[in-house]
Chains A and B, each alone.
Chain A
Amino acid sequence: MFETLILILDATLRVSTPLILAALAGLFSERSGIVDIGLEGKLLGGAFAAAAAAAVFGSAWIGLLFAIAASVSLALIHGFACITHRGDHIVSGVAINTIVAGLTVTLGLDWFSQGGQTPALTGAARFTPITLPFADQVAEVPVLGLIYSELLSGHNILVYVAFLMVPLTYWVVFKTRFGLRLRAVGENPHAVDTAGISVAWVRYRAVILCGVLCGIAGAYLSTAHNAGFLKDMSAGKGYMALAALIFGKWRPVPVLLACLLFGFLDAVAVRLQGVSLPVIGEVPVQAIEVLPYVLTVLLLAGFIGKAVGPKAIGKPYVKERA
Chain B
Amino acid sequence: MKGALLASATALTVAMSSAYAADIKPAVVYDQAGKFDKSFNEGVYNGITQYTEDTGIKIRESEPKNEAQVEQNLRRLAKRGYSPIVAVGFTMTSAVQKVAQDFPDVHFTIIDSVVELDNVQSIVFKEHQGSFLVGALAAMASETDTVGFIGGMDIPLIRKFGCGYEQGVKYVTPNATVIQNMTGSTGAAFNDPTKGSELAKSQFSQGADVVFAAAGGTGIGVYQAAKDEGKLAIGVDSNQNHVQPGTMLTSMVKRVDAAAYKVFEEAQNDTWQPGIEVLGLADGGVDWALDEHNQALISDEMKASMADIKAKIISGEISVHDYMSDSSCQY
Within 8 Å CB of B42, what residues of A?
Answer: 115
Q: A11 to B221, Cβ gap below 8 A? A: no
Q: B224 to A273, Cβ gap below 8 A? A: no
Q: Known interface pairs A7-B205, A226-B197. Does A286 touch B154 (Cβ–Cβ under 8 Å)? A: yes
Q: B194 to A226, Cβ gap below 8 A? A: yes
Q: A286 to B199, Cβ gap below 8 A? A: no
Which residue of the partner chain, among B37, B179, B197, contacts A274 with CB atoms under 8 Å? B179
Q: A285 to B194, Cβ gap below 8 A? A: no
Which residue of the partner chain, among B1, B35, B37, B202, contacts A270 with CB atoms under 8 Å? B202
- What are the interface flags for B37-66 relative to A under an 8 Å C-beta threshold, 1 for contact and 0 otherwise? 100001000000000000000000000000
Which residue of the partner chain, among A7, A113, A235, A267, contacts B192 with CB atoms under 8 Å? A235
Within 8 Å CB of B188, what residues of A?
Answer: 235
Q: Which residue of A lies closest to B202 (CB)?
A: A270
Give Cα A225–Cα B198 distance, bound, in whole angstroms: 9
Q: Which of A115, A228, A266, A274 has the most CB of B within 10 A?
A: A115
- What are the interface flags for A219-237 relative to B under an 8 Å C-beta threshold, 1 for contact and 0 otherwise? 0010001111011110100
Q: A14 to B198, Cβ gap below 8 A? A: yes
Give Cα A309–Cα B180 distance, bound, in whole angstroms: 43
Q: Does B327 contact A (CB under 8 A)?
A: no
Q: B154 to A285, Cβ gap below 8 A? A: yes
Within 8 Å CB of B185, what residues of A?
Answer: 285-286, 289
Within 8 Å CB of B154, what residues of A?
Answer: 285-286
Give Cα A120–Cα B193 distance, bound, in whole angstroms: 12
Q: B202 to A230, Cβ gap below 8 A? A: no
Which residue of the partner chain, among B1, B180, B191, B202, contacts A11 with CB atoms under 8 Å? B202
- What are the interface flags for B176-218 relative to A under an 8 Å C-beta threshold, 1 for contact and 0 otherwise? 0001111011001001111101110110010000000000010
Q: Known interface pairs A11-B201, A120-B243. Does A226 touch B184 (Cβ–Cβ under 8 Å)? A: no
A interface residues, tally (CB under 8 Å): 29
Within 8 Å CB of A117, what residues of B?
Answer: 36
Q: Does B130 contact A (CB under 8 A)?
A: no
Give Cα A274–Cα B179 distance, bound, in whole angstroms: 8
- What are the interface flags for A21-43 relative to B under an 8 Å C-beta threshold, 1 for contact and 0 otherwise? 00000000000000000000000
Q: Does A15 contact B (CB under 8 A)?
A: yes
Q: Which residue of B lies closest to A274 (CB)?
A: B180
Q: A231 to B198, Cβ gap below 8 A? A: no
Interface SS of B by simple majority? mixed
Q: How far is the CB of B191 from chain A (nearest CB, A)?
A: 7
The size class of the interface chain B forms with chain A is 20 to 34
A267-298 contacts to B, CB under 8 A, are 267, 270-271, 273-274, 285-286, 289
Within 8 Å CB of B34, what residues of A?
Answer: 115-116, 231
Q: Does B138 contact A (CB under 8 A)?
A: no
Q: B195 to A270, Cβ gap below 8 A? A: yes
Interface SS of A by simple majority? loop
Q: Known interface pairs A114-B36, A120-B224. Does A273 touch B198 (Cβ–Cβ under 8 Å)? A: no
Which residue of the partner chain, among A15, A232, A267, A285, contacts B182 with CB atoms under 8 Å? A285
Q: B224 to A227, Cβ gap below 8 A? A: yes
Give Cα A271–Cα B195 distance, bound, in whole angstroms: 12
Within 8 Å CB of B191, what residues of A?
Answer: 230-232
Within 8 Å CB of A228, what residues of B?
Answer: 220
Q: Which of A11, A228, A230, A285 has the most CB of B within 10 A?
A: A230
Within 8 Å CB of A231, what residues of B?
Answer: 34, 191
Within 8 Å CB of A267, what residues of B?
Answer: 198
Give Cα A152–Cα B284 distance, bound, in whole angstroms: 49
Q: Known interface pairs A11-B202, A116-B34, A285-B154. Does A225 touch B181 (Cβ–Cβ under 8 Å)? A: no
Within 8 Å CB of A116, what residues of B?
Answer: 34, 36
Q: B182 to A230, Cβ gap below 8 A? A: no
Q: Which residue of B lies closest to A129 (CB)?
A: B228
Q: A289 to B202, Cβ gap below 8 A? A: no
Q: A225 to B35, Cβ gap below 8 A? A: no
Q: Known interface pairs A11-B201, A15-B198, A115-B35. Does A289 touch B179 (Cβ–Cβ under 8 Å)? A: no
Give Cα A301–Cα B35 distance, bound, in whole angstroms: 43
Give Cα A114–Cα B42 distance, bound, in whole angstroms: 10
- What are the interface flags for B1-30 relative to A under an 8 Å C-beta threshold, 1 for contact and 0 otherwise? 100000000000000000000000000000
Give Cα A313–Cα B115 distance, bound, in whole angstroms: 53
Give Cα A225–Cα B224 distance, bound, in whole angstroms: 10
Within 8 Å CB of B37, what residues of A?
Answer: 115
Give Cα A233–Cα B35 distance, bound, in whole angstroms: 16
Q: B1 to A113, Cβ gap below 8 A? A: yes
Q: How far is the CB of A47 from chain B (nearest CB, A)?
A: 10
Q: Which residue of A lies closest to B36 (CB)?
A: A115
Q: A15-B194, A226-B197, A235-B188 are in contact. List 17 more A-B contacts (CB 8 A).
A: A11-B198, A11-B202, A15-B198, A115-B35, A115-B42, A117-B36, A120-B224, A120-B243, A225-B194, A226-B224, A230-B220, A232-B191, A273-B199, A285-B182, A285-B185, A286-B154, A286-B185
List 8 A-B pairs, minimum CB-CB distance, nearest first: A115-B36, A273-B181, A285-B182, A7-B205, A285-B154, A227-B224, A286-B185, A270-B202
A-B contact pairs, 15 of them (CB 8 A): A11-B198, A15-B194, A114-B36, A115-B34, A116-B34, A120-B220, A225-B194, A226-B197, A227-B224, A228-B220, A235-B188, A267-B198, A270-B195, A273-B182, A289-B185
Interface residues of B (CB under 8 A from A): 1, 34-37, 42, 154, 179-182, 184-185, 188, 191-195, 197-199, 201-202, 205, 217, 220-221, 224, 243-244
Interface residues of A (CB under 8 A from B): 7, 11, 14-15, 113-117, 120, 221, 225-228, 230-233, 235, 266-267, 270-271, 273-274, 285-286, 289
